[in-house]
Structure 1
């Protein structure tokens, strides 16, 4: 490990229930991982914006059995730019922060920054300010619980009409200006956004780098979901969409991109591997070990 990447591992993908969670964490630990991301969006840890204490303790008891560093992922539908449901999103995020801390996890990945096509520019800016204010207040909650919020860049998908690109995420985190609010860089999502907006992928990653406290890796082809293809197998055949495929199955030059990448010290690297590909966990963990050692090497040599 390095001072920059302090741990690496995979995200849990199945139902976040004790038996299934134990199987996944055992597989990760046996494969040499030093960290795991707990998919709280698949759990019963929070209901109606409130922490479900008994369920959180059941999960925590499983986590304590493994020598892993833990991070957590919040709801995929969380969106602090959703004006109609803003207070509910805030309540759920607060509860997720509390659940993350109770699990002994140090980072909560947060989604957001989604708005409708055709929204007036002034309204988009108003909602961006609303998101910044909410993240700043939630950063105070996170600080009290010893948790870092990590705001993730999302991909352009059919159900995500408009969202921040890498520069937009960087601008939001900078505007928040809170020590407990950073960014999660998902390189696969950045590749899809680079395709959609004809951006340079390396430049977009560099734009987020100063704010990155958590890293999501996956492999894919950076192709948009523009063909009606039901099922992972068909999308894989065409190389379209947010594949979360094993390393080397797509076109993302992870080694080259990571060599020039300089996130904040203490970053945890997580590979988000679709459950469909879990028989490749050992190979993925081995690749992660190599990739973790590559981070920032091109900058160090310069």
Structure 2
């Protein structure tokens, strides 16, 4: 049996209010989706590391209206390498762990860290800072049964320090805590591999043994560079950047990847394909479920 237990889509508020999140959730429920990753930081649930009680209660009430399995995406700006904000980020992440517990979500996504070009001298300390922060957060998350999923991100400015996907896997191994897993974002890995001249498939293969969460969305692995499309759709037309397209619109060989890689038990294959592609979401959902079946067959064959 495959270690991938579910697939679904991310959902978020588009105006900071619960109503728009609820509309997104209703559309996904009507589509037959059973698993959702909540972008809870699109809502004002936490202030200075403290949970806003009434707003958190409203979120709990909203999530109970649906029969979803939930995961949670933490701060999109999360960066445990940053010396100026690391403490604040840990406090916010701990509050997010508590939010996870209240809505029965057992995965909290944390982005891998980075340094600005003028901070490169701090690289060794930054790697250690991130590992120590992850360990502190994991210890906090342990009694809640929440796993922190460390996501690979791509370089967004010249001279920036980012860990490669394989290095993210090494960070997870170094932390060596049951409540910290790697999160493979396949498109991010593709883009970073192109930018650095790395082998994309080798990079994600290095992450797979410690990966307990996945982000699926399609692209062509072309770094954004200095190109700025006037409309978002112009990036899509050029095939440039982190496009978050429906599965099959880019050139990632999903079938081959899922027939080759194995992941940790309890992994969720979450599609970050938003409401912009509502018309295409059902087809991507069907495709993702087929990928789960492909991965299941691969694991069954390997066990024989």
Partner Cα separation in structure 1 for residue 139 and residue 114 of structure 2: 23
* More displaced 10-residue stretch of structure 1: 214-223 or 280-289: 280-289
Shift of 1:19: 2.1
1:1-302 equivalences under 5 Å are 2-15=1-14, 17-117=17-117, 119-120=119-120, 123-158=122-157, 161-226=160-225, 227-295=227-295, 297-298=297-298, 300-301=300-301
SS of the residue aligned with 1:84? coil
CA RMSD of aligned residues (A): 1.8
Mapped contact 2:12–2:40 kept (Cα < 8 A): no
Residue 275 of structure 1 deviates from its aligned partner by 3.1
Whether the 8 Å CA contact 1:153–1:189 is kept in 2: the answer is yes
Instruction: Using the TM superposition, give the Cα deviation of residue 298 of structure 1 relative to its aligned residue in structure 2, in angstroms.
Output: 3.9
In the TM superposition, what is the alpha-carbon distance from 1:277 to its structure 2 partner? 1.4
In the aligned structure 2, how far is the partner of 1:19 from the partner of 1:36? 16
Contact 2:113 2:130 in 1 (8 A): yes
* Count, aligned residues: 300
Does the CA-based 8 Å contact 2:13-2:43 persist in structure 1? Answer: no
Q: TM-score, normalised by structure 2?
A: 0.93
Q: Which moved more, 1:35-44 or 1:2-11?
A: 2-11
What SS does structure 1 have at the residue aligned with 2:27?
Answer: helix
SS across alignment from 1:157: coil
SS in 1 for 2:156: coil
Distance 2:296 2:158 in 1: 34
Residues in 2 aligned to 1:187 and 1:62: alpha-carbon distance in whole angstroms? 31
Structure 2 unpaired stretches of 5+: none
Report deviation, 1:119: 4.1
1:150 CA drift (Å): 0.4
- In structure 1, the gaps of 5 or more residues are none
Q: CA offsets, 1:111-131, max 9 Å, x none? A: 13211226455x211111111
1:52 Cα deviation from its structure 2 partner: 1.4
Contact preservation (8 Å) 1:13, 1:275: no
What does the per-residue CA deviation read over 1:211-243, in whole Å, with 9 as the maximum and x for residues that have no partner? 111110000110010222233111001000000
Q: Distance in 2 between matches of 1:117 and 1:160?
A: 5
Query: SS state of the match for residue 61, structure 2?
Result: helix
Q: Secondary structure at the match of 1:279?
A: coil
Distance 2:252 2:44 in 1: 34
Give CA deviations for 1:260-293 in whole Å, capped at 9, x if unaligned: 1111011011100133212222222111211221
Partner SS, residue 295 of structure 1? helix
Cα displacement (A) at 1:83: 0.8
